Amino acid sequence: MSAVLPGPRLSAAVQTALYWASPRRTVRRWQAAYGDVIGATVHPMGQVVFLCRAGDIKDLMRADPATFRAGAANAALGGSSSTFSLLTADGPQHTNARALLMPAFHGRAVRAQVEYMAEITDTNMATWPVGRPFALHRYTKEIALDVILRVVMGIGPDRLAEVRAAMLQLSRTESAVELALGSPVLARLLPYARRRERHLADSHRLLQEIIAAHRDDPALDQRVDALALLVGARGEDGKPLSDREIEEQLITLLVAGYETTAAGLAWTFEQLVRTPSVLAKAASAADTDDDEYLDALVKESLRLRTVVPDLSRMAMTDVEFAGHRIAAGSILTPCLDVVHESPSLFGDAGVLRPERFLEDKAANWLPFGGGIRRCLGATFALVEMRTVIKQMLRRFSFSATSAADERFVRRHITSEPGRGAMVTVQARAAVAAAR
Ligand code: HEM
């Protein structure tokens, strides 16, 4: 059992600067130099233990959640100490919130939304520029946001444009700099701070209005959206949840649900246009409703481009883990992307090859994490990605490109394509006529 973790011996300031300049490259360099368990010091997390071995990551996901807390770690990372949000809650508060929200994201509820997902994609595609290169990510964000607004808050077509604009505005004004500063006081000095506060106040007003409308809805018990579940819920004291609790939960669901799915969709096409043989198979699968192939494509895309590259757990006591002594307060960080890109686990790991998910069950496929904190929206996201990709491939032909892979850019917790997933599309009917 080693007491001192292998890792860089540079000053904390230099380690922090190296990490935030490029989390992806830095962890890989440290892994090459120090192995699969690395101790480093990175502000604002403090002592961080990066885990790069699939076995250790699975052990951590199965470990006692009271010893390794996800909520405490997420709160330390995001600078928030709210216990109302699913992401920052631990213990019974987390278990109760999960049980309450689960029905909105599972089985029947998800299947009921497929038609609507396809409809949203069709409406959005009507606005795409045809015949010239454009950044697809902008559009996948709109689609994913429209879908989640419906499922989370029951927003129908009449208010969609207004609510979507407010939410996009809000997420655009956030910045990785703020996250890295980890300080609301310093963040207030940033040049756009006043504009951000105005956007926050506007979206707060809008959310309060939507919550009030739900509370007054005589048909509340027939609604299936997450907000209806939250409004109908009673706490341990038998009282309804406060507007503040509901609002925090809503924002968590919106952010966790839309930026991730939008990035997953953008990466899928960024890779498809660079792999013409898979693009052709995927287009034919879309035409023939071959969901098995499309599901394999979605899984492979989430492997090759891991949208949430790492997770966080806080060690609540001094503890032995992965052959090392870990100090209380350390943040353990499973590096999911390192596992997904490992040749020893996936062979031709750098290649987009959906067939690998038709062949086996992929024991080391972890894009949604695992254990009691596994992504609440995993089933939902997989169905949404398959449905949206199918609609896109049915309507447009995507031109192949020999451009270099887009770089990985970190935004909040997600990894996104650096140029926004540049593509060029032609209407399928036009392509057929020109042949
Ligand atoms: C491709 C899309 C998505 C990816 C890659 C993704 C990834 C993840 C990952 C890796 C976690 C685990 C975090 C941890 O263990 O600390 C997570 C948690 C979570 N995700 Fe997703 N997610 C996606 C879509 C969604 C959607 C559509 C929703 C729906 C609202 C959602 C809601 C959540 C929530 C609420 C949690 C917290 C669960 C908990 O702490 O119990 N996600 N997600």
Residue 180 has pLDDT above 80, yes or no: no
Residue 35 to residues 7, 49, 263: CA-CA distances in angstroms? 9, 12, 30
Query: Tens digits of per-residue pLDDT, 286-334?
Result: 999 999 999 999 999 999 999 999 999 999 999 999 999 999 999 999 9
The pLDDT value given to residue 413 = 84
The DSSP code for 2 is B
**27 C-beta closer than 6 A to ligand 1:** no
Q: Which helix (H) or strand (E) holds 293?
A: helix 291-304
Q: Is 260 in the pocket of ligand 1 (CB under 6 A)?
A: yes
Distance of CA 134 to the CA centre of its chain: 23
Binned at pLDDT 50, 70 and 90, residue 132 comes out as very high
For the packed helices 243-272 and 137-153, what is the interaxial angle rounded to 10 degrees? Answer: 150
Q: What integer pLDDT is reported at residue 360 of this predicted model?
A: 74
- For ligand 1, the distance from its centroid to the CA atom of residue 376, given in whole angstroms, is 6
The atom of ligand 1 lying closest to the CA of 94 is: 41
Tokens of residue 267, six digits: 């990466």
Percent of the chain with pLDDT over 70: 91
Instruction: Look up tokens 């246009």; give the residue.
Output: 273
Per-residue pLDDT tens digits for 348-382: 999 999 999 998 767 899 999 999 999 999 999 99
Ligand 1 pocket test: pick from 375, 382, 412 the residue with the most ligand atoms within 8 Å of its Cβ. Answer: 375
Percent of the chain with pLDDT over 90: 62
Residue with CA nearest ligand 1 atom 2? 261
The confidence band for 82, taking pLDDT boundaries of 50, 70 and 90, is low
**Residue 143 pLDDT:** 95
**CA–CA separation, 350 and 368 (whole Å):** 20
346 close to ligand 1 (CB < 6 Angstrom): no
Query: Which atom of ligand 1 is least distant from the CA of 97?
Result: 41
pLDDT at 83: 59
User: Considering only CA atoms, which residue is closest to atom 7 of ligand 1?
Assistant: 368
Q: If you ran DSSP here, which 8-state letter would residue 251 be given?
A: H
| Residue 115 in this model has a pLDDT that exceeds 70 | yes
Q: Quick one: pLDDT at residue 241?
A: 85
pLDDT of residue 192: 62
Window from 180-194, 327-341, 412-426 with minimum mean pLDDT: 180-194
Strand partners, 48: 40, 331
pLDDT digits (tens, 9 = 90+) for 202-217: 888 888 999 999 999 9
Mutation probe of ligand 1 site: the residue of 152, 250, 260, 312 with most atoms within 8 A of C-beta = 260
Model pLDDT, residue 220: 86
**Ligand 1 near 86 CB (within 6 A):** yes
Q: Whose CA is nearest to atom 43 of ligand 1?
A: 375
Q: Does 178 score more than 50 pLDDT?
A: no
100 lines ligand 1 (CB under 6 A): no
Supply the pLDDT for residue 295: 97
What separation in Å is there between the alpha carbon of 375 and the centre of ligand 1? Answer: 3
Q: Counting atoms of ligand 1 from 1, which one is nearest the CA of 89?
A: 40
More confident residue, 183 or 14: 14
Q: Are 290 and 414 in contact (CB under 8 A)?
A: no
Integer Cα distance of 70 and 88 in angstroms = 7
Q: Domains in the chain and their CATH numbers?
A: 90-307+353-434 (1.10.630.10)
Return d(Cα 96, Cα 100) in angstroms, integer.
6
Whole-number mean pLDDT of the chain?
A: 89
From CA 425, how far away is CA 407, in angstroms rounded?
22
Ligand 1 binding pocket includes 57 (Cβ within 6 Å): no
Atom of ligand 1 nearest to the CA of 254: 30
* 380 CA closest ligand 1 atom index: 27
- Identify the residue with better confidence: 389 or 175: 389
CA of 85 to the centre of ligand 1 (A): 13
Q: Does the beta carbon of 50 sit less than 6 angstroms from any atom of ligand 1? A: no
- The C-alpha atoms of residue 54 and residue 366 are separated, in whole angstroms, by 9
Q: Which residue(s) pair with 332 in the sheet?
A: 49, 313
Q: Does any ligand 1 atom lie closer than 6 A to the CB of residue 253? A: yes
Looking at residue 177, what is its pLDDT?
A: 43
The beta strand positions in 206-361, using DSSP E, are: 313-315, 319-321, 324-326, 331-334
